[in-house]
Structure 1
């Protein structure tokens, strides 16, 4: 288990992993359909998507938390 001080990084990693996996699969299916090599296409897309998603979540999460706080308190 991880130290609680790494909660934000673990959250960002898991969020990016799951969201990029799901989104890249749906978009791959949408673009090429259910072809024989869809898993290979999807995994390549997932690696690329995750490499963008993880740093994005790390950078954007604090802003989203602040915006959420403003909306909830309004």
Structure 2
């Protein structure tokens, strides 16, 4: 297993992976429907959304964590 010091980084990677996967599946379906090319369109969109989701989570995660810490008891 991984040391606890990597918890935040691993959490962000797994969360970015899962969220971008689910959102891209749904948004691709809503925008283009289900047909024989759906999987190809999904993978093309996911190849763009996955890095964006991970980078956004890496950049936004720490300040949001601090904000939530301040506004909660």
- Normalised by the length of structure 2, the TM-score is 0.91
Matches within 5 A, 1:24-63: 24-63=24-63
SS in 1 for 2:72: helix
Segments ≥4 residues shifted beyond 3 Å: none
SS in 1 for 2:61: helix
Kindly tell me the number of residue pairs found equivalent between the two proteins.
73
Shift of 1:43: 1.3
CA distance in 2, matches of 1:57, 1:71: 20
> Structure 2: which 5+ runs fail to align?
none
Does structure 1 residue 68 correspond to structure 2 residue 65? Answer: no
CA distance in 1, matches of 2:4, 2:51: 24
> Structure 1: which 5+ runs fail to align?
none
Does structure 1 residue 16 correspond to structure 2 residue 16? Answer: yes
